[in-house]
Amino acid sequence: MEQLVKKYAKKLSSAGLAEETGPLSPLVGGIDDTLVWNRKGEEIKVLEQIFNGLNINSLVFLRPKAPYDKIIGFLAREAIHTNGLIEPKDCETRTFLHDLPVVNQFSTDKIINSLKRRKSVIVALEDTTGVCDIAVIAHGTVSPEQGFVVTSSVCFACFVKFFTDYLENLQLGRSTREENTLFDCLAPDLHPNLAPGLTPMTLEPMNLPDLAKGPFLTEEQIYAAIVQAGRKTVEQGLVDSYFGNISYCRNNILYISQTGSSLDELEGCIDPVPLDGSSSAGLTASSELTAHLETIAQTHCEAILHGHPKFSVIMSMDCDPKRKAICPHKDRCHIHCPHKRFINHIPIVPGEVGTGPTGLCNTLPKAFGKSSHVIVYGHGVFALGKNDFSQAFATLMEVEKNCRRSYFEKVRKLRTADFID
C-alpha cells in the first residue's frame, strides 16, 4: 500500500494537477494492515476521521495547481452561493460523477455526508476577499487508483465546464466581469495569440512522438504498439485521467484495451477479441468494444485511438444557445441531438457508451464516411489509422489544436463585438 499511495500522488503531479513536493502536494492515504500516507500533513488529522465514517480503504486529498485552482475556485464560489453543486455536462461527468458537491468547511461530517452520495467533494474555504482555498477529496473502496481517477476527472470536468459556460454566456451577452477577468488570466497559457487585449506570444507546438510503424505482423508487435500509443496519449494530456481506449485489428482479431484500464499502463490489459464472436474475451474489453467493431467493419482501418482532448470536448458542446433553449432534446442533446454538426469539417455525433438505440455503435461508425476522425458530443475524439497509430495520434493532436484555435477565435470575435457595442 505504501508504494501505491506514493505512485498515485506522483501521477497527480505528473499530470500537471498538483505540486510535486511541499505542503501543496497531494495527500494519498490507504489501509492495508494499517493506514499509511505518502507524506506527512496537517490535514491528516481530519482526513483520518473520514475513514471511520465510510467503508473505504483509500483517500485522495488534492490541492489543484494552476489553472485548475482558479477555475475550480470560481465554480465553487458560485456553487456555495446557490445549490452547493457544480454540474458539468461532459459525458464522463454525466456517466460517472453526476455532479460535484461543494462544502465551505473542512469538516469531517460535511465531507462524509457528501462522499456518501458522490465519489468526490470539493472543499472551498472562502476568505473575506472572496478568494477560495480549494481541495478536491475522493475515496476508493479497492485501491487509491479510484481516488486518483475521480480527482483527475473533477479537474477535467471543471475545466471543460468553465470554458463551455463562458462561451455560452458571451453568446447570450451575459458574461460577468469576474468571468472575463478569469478568462484573461487563463488565456496566455492556453492560446495567447488570440486572447483579446493581450500581447501576442508564440504558442509552443505539441511534439508528435515517434511511434512504432506498422503493419504489425505478430501479437508481440501489436501489444507493444498499443502499450506505447496508450502511454504517449496520456503523456501528451490527450485524455481525462486515463480514460480513452485503443484497438488494433489483425487477422480477424481485434486487440482492444480492457474496460477500466489505464491507457498508460496497458501491459496485461489488452483483450484479443475474434471478429466472429467465437470467444468470450470481449467480456472484459472496453465498454466501447461494439463501436470499435462496427467502425472496423465499415472503414477497414486497422487502428483506432480514442482520447478526450479538452478543447475538442468543449467545442463539441458549442451550440447556439437560443436554439438550445427551445430544443425538445435540451439537456439530452449528448445522446439525442438531431442536427448534423461539424467543427472545421469534422463531424460531431451524439451517442452514449453501450449498445442501446442511442449507443455509439450506432452513431459513430457511419460518421466516418468522409472523415478519418469524429468527435463525440461531450466525450472526445475517435481517430483512425491505416496500419499503425502514427496517423491516428497525429490526427488527435491536430484536432485538438484546431478546436483550441477555433474556441479562442470565437471568443475574440464575441469580445470584440461586445467592446464595439
Mean pLDDT for 179-201 is 68
Peptide bond into 67 cis (omega under 30): yes
Grid coordinates standing for 370? Answer: 468522409
Contact status, residue 259 vs residue 316, Cβ threshold 8 Å: no
Helices 108-117, 44-53: crossing angle, 10 deg rounding: 50
Dihedral of the CA atoms 330, 335, 336, 337 (nearest 10)?
A: 80
Task: Kindly report the average pLDDT of the chain as a whole number.
Answer: 88
- Planar angle of CA 153, 158, 161, nearest 5 degrees: 125
- Please tell me whether residue 97 adopts helix, strand or coil conformation: helix
pLDDT in tens, 242-294: 678 999 999 999 999 998 888 999 999 999 999 987 777 677 888 889 999 99
Mean pLDDT for 316-328 is 80
DSSP calls for 26-51: -EEEEESSSEEESS--TTHHHHHHHH
Domain 2-160 and domain 219-403 have a common topology: yes
- Please tell me whether residue 381 adopts helix, strand or coil conformation: strand
Identity at 89, one-letter amino acid code: K
> How many Å separate Cα 315 from the centre of its chain?
14
How does DSSP classify residue 63? -
**pTM (two decimals):** 0.91
- Whole-number pLDDT of residue 128: 67
Model confidence at 155, in pLDDT bands (50, 70, 90)? Answer: very high
Dihedral of the CA atoms 286, 290, 274, 283 (nearest 10)?
A: 50
Domain boundaries, the chain: 2-160, 219-403
CA 388/CA 229 separation, integer angstroms:
9
How does DSSP classify residue 94? I
Mean pLDDT for 119-134 is 84
pLDDT at 199 over 70: no
CA 416/CA 322 separation, integer angstroms:
20
pLDDT at 197 over 50: no
pLDDT in tens, 365-381: 989 987 889 999 999 99
Contact status, residue 348 vs residue 342, Cβ threshold 8 Å: yes
Q: Among residues of the chain, what percentage have pLDDT more than 70?
A: 93
Query: Which of 96-105, 257-266, 321-330 is predicted with the least confidence, judged by mean pLDDT?
Result: 321-330
CA 24/CA 382 separation, integer angstroms:
36
- Whole-number pLDDT of residue 418: 60
- Whole-number pLDDT of residue 129: 66
252 burial (CB, 10 Å; 0-12 / 13-18 / 19+) is exposed
Contact status, residue 254 vs residue 292, Cβ threshold 8 Å: yes
Looking at per-residue pLDDT, the higher value among 54 and 242 belongs to: 54
> How many Å separate Cα 241 from the centre of its chain?
6
Contact status, residue 94 vs residue 334, Cβ threshold 8 Å: yes
Residues counted in the chain: 421
Which CATH class, in words, describes the domain spanning 2-160?
alpha beta
Among 3.40.630.30, 3.40.225.10, 3.40.309.10, 3.50.50.60, name the CATH number for the domain at 219-403.
3.40.225.10
| Through-space distance between the first and last CA atoms of the chain, rounded to whole angstroms | 60
CA 48/CA 111 separation, integer angstroms:
12
Distances in whole angstroms, Cα of residue 95 to Cα of each of 68, 180, 212, 286, 296: 22, 30, 34, 15, 25
Q: Over the Cα atoms of the chain, what is R_g?
A: 22
Contacts of 113 (CB under 8 A, 6+ apart): none
